[in-house]
Chain A
Amino acid sequence: MTTLATIRNPFGRPVVADAWDVRSIDVPEINARAFATCMQAFARVAGGQGSESIILHGAAGSGKTHLLGRLQHHLVTEGAKSAADGALKCVFVAVKLQTSPQMLWQHLRRRFADDLLRETEGASQLQRLVAHYLAARGQEKDAKAWVRKIRVLSQIEDETVESLLEEVSEKARLGFELRRVLSHLIYRRNMSEARGWLRGDPLPEEALARLGLSTSSEGEAEDQAREVIVSLCRLAEDSLPIVFCFDQIEALQSSTTDGAGFLRLGQQLAELFESDNNILIVTCLQSFALDLFKDSVREANWQRISRRQAVLDPLDRKLAELLLERRLESDPTLAEIRRSRATERVWPLVSSDLDALFEGGPRPTARRLLLRAEQIFFERATGRAAPPSVPFEIFLEGEVDRRLDHVLKAQKPEETEGNLRHGLPLVVNALEMPWRSAQLEERDVQLEFESDEAKRIQLSVCNAKNMKSLAATLRRLVKREAKGQHVIVRDPRFPVSKTAKRCREYLGELEKKGVRLVEPDIESLALLDAVRTVLSDARAGDLMHDGLPLPVESVEKWLRETLDERLTPLVEDLLAMGSAPVLPVDTDRVQDLAVLLSERLIISLEEAAGLLDYPPDELERVARGHPARFGVLNGPPAVLFLSIPPSLTGDLEEEVA
């Protein structure tokens, strides 16, 4: 017999991960007004009346991300039926701003590229963007026909597409590199490299050569990213506008009163707004940050990015009951049981269950209501009291571990720069270390830390995969006059190969100048990434515990008390605290061994020594000196292997067992 106890609790999953997460039950009556504002703005853009912008704000848990999901579903999934090309009504880009304010354009470039390459009915959003652009200017006005043409012609490698692209790049003033990469993406040639370029990933020389691009680019990554994005925005048309949704903008702040990131964001959003007439920008934030956001942004930019404002109210009683009812009806088995109790609208809950939520104090948000309903349903279904929530310290420990696992499996070395530049200041701040951090505007030196004793450390994240780009950066750093102690950080998964002679020379010169090279181990980098996202979620009000958002101050306190031992070594290593300012003497050998093991993974000591032309005992000393990167098995014969973080080998061991 089916009882409540056998039914999945319909009130689970109250947090929506992002705008593409549409698994939650949607109640259109909730935040209907804000949604209508978004749709009116979209209608104006699609009607050729110019770009639009909306500031969407509400309390934590009021449904901002959920509303973006509704918008995405309505415009992308539902909108397909009424789209000019029968498949896509707009290019939809959703971005959580968990990044350093100095890397906003690079961050957006990555997300924009990922979304542009999403496929809809056999064609990527990028292909459709080009097709709509051509339809608006060619004799053939049917976007659907253009999509078909591009899809078919590109598959048979017909050169007509090439000439069409030429026309597009000329009219839309696309740069040479973007034009080249578009060609690859549309013909679906060298997709991995082209996708990497579009995302702004550091690419090795061979990959750039395959794309037919120069092997070293002298421009600044942030400027390049802006140029690529603004160029792509120029392809937007009335029939296919671009909708940018920015979520969690509070993650740009290093403290509650920090408005520097908002100032930069305001500038970026205004530039996006101005880039074309077919852009809709939706910016989401918590209501309490609205005053600071407005005060931080230049007046002229504010006018552009806040043409409309929509507020997400807490629930009233009517909407609360409606939300409960829809959730209860979403499970067919439960709906069947409920049929015999038609007069009890929210059974197995009762109306008085809501009293406590509406008596005094702020009215509840949807998220708070669902969390309470989940507990009550459990109690009614099992006859037992809902288990008490775990203390927040235990919750945080589990949350960081869960994210760490995910990061270790998914993290790409290309993203290390963003991780360090965003995460390091957050962690130094959270651990209350005696350092004040500042983001620098310098091209090759991105972070600065100053101690209470006026000691200054400057950090360069040099993570270029391309050795020519790396050499160019190092050359500039050699010429640069040091301002305090200088540390170069690089992901250990990008070793400097023996053939990169210029890089090694420059590293040697920097060594003589007292510069330090730090290659943090992968696990420390992953931990930094996990902690960074937890802190960002907390700042944006999206880290829920026991029905309420966890304050970022509590998370920071917990970090100091619990993760101090795991995070401090990384920070101390990077900030060279208490160490002499010298490059490790084994730099070349460490790099050689890293390159060799990245190809071979495991090799006998003797063979490695032969290949690298080092004495075996010297090589063994190097390997043993870097246990986080290399492993040594005693022989005979002695074997060297690439060290893998224990948390990754855990799964492997379980599988073997």
Chain B
Amino acid sequence: MARTKKTKAPKPELDDETLDDAIAKLLAQEPDGLEIKTVRASFPKSHQPSVARLEARLRVLVAGGKVHRWGRVVAAEPYAVRARARLLELLVEPANGKGIQAGLPPTLRLKNGLKPVLARAVAEGVVFEHPDPKGKKVPRYALVPADPKRHLGEIEKAIASTLKRLARSGVDREALLTALDGRATPAPIAVPRIHPDALLDAVLEVRPDARAHVLVSVRDLRRHLGWSKTDFDRTVLALAGEGRITLHHHDHPTGLSATERNDLVRDDRGNFYVGLVLEEAAA
């Protein structure tokens, strides 16, 4: 009896909506993005889309703003947003350019991508450029301003020796510093920085339709900017005080976890705010 040739069953295909949803979910779990080949490999063999189809769907998702492409990598957030967040985590310890590159996950190491992100953070006063204490030309970066003490070097020694000599004449350290006419910088005090315009710009980046009177989540905005909590909260409250934004409060913040509450803006009366709306003048 002639054997009938077995025909291979066609591979089941996910429909566009399911595939898009699966990609979005996968990327939501991988905030540092995934290489496209890894995205494909993440699907079970039985439902793996072809490279061409995956590329096609990614093009649609990228065009719709649901997925962002960083070279060979795709991710849920724009590169600038994710790189900034990572940068701020990293710079808890000061690092130079090489150190920053090495500290970032491989997907975020874009040759020309990081520079503008770093430059913007410095311009906004979120990240500070420190001169190398050894006088090399390579700057270092950190989340706090440079400590002048580390750069006084010989001057410190000179002041100490001058003080020693003048002590017999009744001149103390305070008198000497006064004589220096305030040129000796006092220890930096952590005064919150207010960046109203930067925040308003960021509102439009997070929600391009913010001018149409929509609520912008302070959680999303905070993540986008990556500022310190004090700076962010103060700036938001200052803008509300000036009537440039309207704040929407949370009725039951006690029902939230400490982390969730920390994402909200808190005023000095203990009210928590979940979002803001641009007032017409600001919009």
Given contacts A299-B21, A299-B24, A309-B215, contact A361 B267 (CB under 8 A): yes
Question: Looking at the complex, which of A152-160, A234-242, A283-291 is the stretch in contact with chain B?
Answer: A283-291
Residues of A within 8 A of B17 (CB): 300
Q: Interface of chain A, helix or strand or loop or mixed?
A: mixed
Given contacts A290-B275, A299-B20, A300-B21, contact A311 B248 (CB under 8 A): yes
The answer to the question of B184 belonging to the interface, with a C-beta cut-off of 8 Å to chain A, is: no
Contact status B267-A287, CB under 8 Å: no
The answer to the question of A519 belonging to the interface, with a C-beta cut-off of 8 Å to chain B, is: no
**B249-263 interface mask toward A, CB cutoff 8 Å, 1 = contact, 0 = none?**
111101111001000
Residues of A within 8 A of B249 (CB): 59, 314, 362
Contact status A551-B251, CB under 8 Å: yes
For residue A399, give the distance in angstroms from its CB to the closest CB of chain B.
18
Given contacts A291-B217, A299-B24, contact A553 B248 (CB under 8 A): no
For residue A609, give the distance in angstroms from its CB to the closest CB of chain B.
57
Contact status A549-B252, CB under 8 Å: yes
Given B20, B21, B217, B256, which contacts A256 in the complex, CB threshold below 8 Å? Answer: B256
Residues of A within 8 A of B255 (CB): 256, 551-553
The answer to the question of B41 belonging to the interface, with a C-beta cut-off of 8 Å to chain A, is: no
Given B220, B251, B257, which contacts A60 in the complex, CB threshold below 8 Å? Answer: B251
> Which of chain A's residues has its CB closest to B247's CB?
A362
Given contacts A59-B248, A287-B274, contact A33 B213 (CB under 8 A): yes
Residue of B215, B217, B273 most packed against chain A (CB within 10 A): B215
Residues of B within 8 A of A552 (CB): 252, 255
The answer to the question of B72 belonging to the interface, with a C-beta cut-off of 8 Å to chain A, is: no
User: Once bound together, how far apart are the Cα atoms of A552 and B275, in whole Å?
Assistant: 22
Considering the complex, which residues of chain B in the window 220-274 have a beta carbon less than 8 Å from any beta carbon of chain A? 220, 246-252, 254-257, 260, 267, 269, 271, 273-274
User: Once bound together, how far apart are the Cα atoms of A310 and B248, in whole Å?
Assistant: 13
Contact status B246-A549, CB under 8 Å: no
User: What is the interface residue range for chain B against chain A?
Assistant: 20 to 34
The answer to the question of B277 belonging to the interface, with a C-beta cut-off of 8 Å to chain A, is: yes
The answer to the question of A57 belonging to the interface, with a C-beta cut-off of 8 Å to chain B, is: yes
User: Once bound together, how far apart are the Cα atoms of A288 and B247, in whole Å?
Assistant: 12
User: Once bound together, how far apart are the Cα atoms of A58 and B274, in whole Å?
Assistant: 11
Contact status B251-A314, CB under 8 Å: no
**B6-35 interface mask toward A, CB cutoff 8 Å, 1 = contact, 0 = none?**
000000000001001100100000000000
**B195-219 interface mask toward A, CB cutoff 8 Å, 1 = contact, 0 = none?**
0000000000000000001110101
Residues of A within 8 A of B217 (CB): 290-291
Residue of A300, A541, A552 most packed against chain B (CB within 10 A): A300
Residue of B20, B66, B247, B255 most packed against chain A (CB within 10 A): B255
User: Once bound together, how far apart are the Cα atoms of A406 and B271, in whole Å?
Assistant: 36
The answer to the question of A360 belonging to the interface, with a C-beta cut-off of 8 Å to chain B, is: yes
The answer to the question of A403 belonging to the interface, with a C-beta cut-off of 8 Å to chain B, is: no
User: Once bound together, how far apart are the Cα atoms of A344 and B220, in whole Å?
Assistant: 45
**B143-171 interface mask toward A, CB cutoff 8 Å, 1 = contact, 0 = none?**
00000000000000000000000000000
**B176-200 interface mask toward A, CB cutoff 8 Å, 1 = contact, 0 = none?**
0000000000000000000000000
> Which of chain B's residues has its CB closest to A548's CB?
B251
The answer to the question of A313 belonging to the interface, with a C-beta cut-off of 8 Å to chain B, is: yes
The answer to the question of A298 belonging to the interface, with a C-beta cut-off of 8 Å to chain B, is: yes
Given contacts A288-B251, A298-B21, A551-B251, contact A311 B66 (CB under 8 A): no
Contact status B248-A287, CB under 8 Å: yes
The answer to the question of A326 belonging to the interface, with a C-beta cut-off of 8 Å to chain B, is: no
For residue B238, give the distance in angstroms from its CB to the closest CB of chain A.
13
Contact status B214-A311, CB under 8 Å: yes
> Which of chain A's residues has its CB closest to B255's CB?
A256
Residues of A within 8 A of B219 (CB): 291
**A360-402 interface mask toward B, CB cutoff 8 Å, 1 = contact, 0 = none?**
1111000000000000000000000000000000000000000
For residue B103, give the distance in angstroms from its CB to the closest CB of chain A.
29
Contact status A309-B214, CB under 8 Å: yes
User: Once bound together, how far apart are the Cα atoms of A33 and B217, in whole Å?
Assistant: 20
Given contacts A298-B21, A299-B20, A360-B267, contact A256 B273 (CB under 8 A): no
Residues of A within 8 A of B274 (CB): 287-288, 290-291
> Which of chain B's residues has its CB closest to A541's CB?
B251
Residues of B within 8 A of A311 (CB): 213-215, 248, 277
User: Once bound together, how far apart are the Cα atoms of A647 and B72, in whole Å?
Assistant: 71
Contact status B269-A361, CB under 8 Å: yes
User: Once bound together, how far apart are the Cα atoms of A362 and B274, in whole Å?
Assistant: 11
> Which of chain B's residues has its CB closest to A58's CB?
B248
> Which of chain B's residues has its CB closest to A60's CB?
B251
For residue B274, give the distance in angstroms from its CB to the closest CB of chain A.
4
> Which of chain A's residues has its CB closest to B257's CB?
A257
User: Once bound together, how far apart are the Cα atoms of A290 and B252, in whole Å?
Assistant: 14
Contact status A57-B215, CB under 8 Å: yes
For residue A27, give the distance in angstroms from its CB to the closest CB of chain B.
18
Contact status A287-B275, CB under 8 Å: yes
Contact status B20-A300, CB under 8 Å: yes
Contact status A553-B214, CB under 8 Å: no
> Which of chain A's residues has its CB closest to B216's CB?
A311
- In the A-B complex, the 4 residue pairs with the smallest Cβ-Cβ separation, listed nearest first, are A362-B249, A551-B252, A256-B255, A288-B250
Extra contacts besides A291-B217, A541-B251 (20): CB < 8 Å: A57-B215, A59-B249, A257-B257, A287-B248, A287-B275, A288-B248, A288-B252, A291-B220, A299-B66, A310-B213, A311-B214, A311-B248, A360-B267, A360-B269, A361-B269, A362-B249, A363-B247, A552-B255, A553-B252, A553-B254
* B interface residues, Cβ below 8 angstroms from A: 17, 20-21, 24, 66, 213-215, 217, 219-220, 246-252, 254-257, 260, 267, 269, 271, 273-275, 277
14 contacts between A and B (CB under 8 A): A256-B256, A287-B248, A287-B275, A288-B248, A288-B250, A290-B275, A309-B214, A311-B214, A313-B277, A314-B248, A360-B267, A363-B247, A541-B252, A548-B251
